[in-house]
């Protein structure tokens, strides 16, 4: 038996702003937005969504993961111990995607990587959470 990876929870100062930022960055949609949490899921997950409980295990296991944003009083102080890797498809312009994220409010981050040696770019979201944009790929 296997458990389903259901969501990643992100602690943040402004859960609603972070959820909106990530939904825009990933072209996802917000499906829940309260003072206690905001949830973003892949757009295709809504298209495939069945009303009510999913009783079939195989269908339930195939559903994509979401991001849950919850407010916390403290700010980020250290490098993330867990981060998200994003990858453009080989048909996409990777540099244009990075610029789009920067235009949305991401920032470039130096976590010790040598830009001449690595094939990824480290960025941070508006609250400083690091993530990587990998090289383009098709698998």
What pLDDT, in 10s, does the model give residues 87-102? 999 999 999 999 999 9
**pLDDT in the model for residue 96:** 97
**pLDDT in the model for residue 115:** 79
**pLDDT in the model for residue 43:** 86
Query: Structural domain boundaries of the chain?
Result: 7-71, 84-133
Question: Strand 38-42 and strand 121-124: pairing?
Answer: unpaired
Q: How many helices (H) and strands (E) does the chain have?
A: 4, 8
According to CATH, what is the number of the domain 7-71?
A: 3.30.720
pTM here is 0.88
**pLDDT in the model for residue 47:** 65
């Amino acid at each position: 038996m296997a458990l389903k990876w259901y969501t990643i929870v992100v602690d943040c100062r402004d859960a609603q702003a972070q959820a909106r930022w990530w939904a825009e960055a990933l072209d996802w949609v917000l499906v829940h937005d309260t003072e206690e949490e905001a949830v973003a899921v892949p757009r295709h997950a809504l298209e495939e969504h069945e009303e009510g409980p999913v009783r079939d295990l195989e269908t339930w296991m195939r559903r994509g993961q979401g991001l849950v944003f919850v407010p916390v009083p403290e700010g980020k102080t250290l490098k993330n111990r867990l981060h998200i890797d994003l990858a453009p498809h080989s048909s996409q312009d990777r540099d244009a995607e990075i610029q789009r994220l920067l235009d949305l409010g991401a920032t470039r981050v130096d976590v010790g990587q040598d830009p001449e040696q690595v094939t990824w770019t480290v960025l941070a979201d508006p609250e400083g959470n690091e993530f990587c944009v990998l090289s383009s790929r098709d698998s």
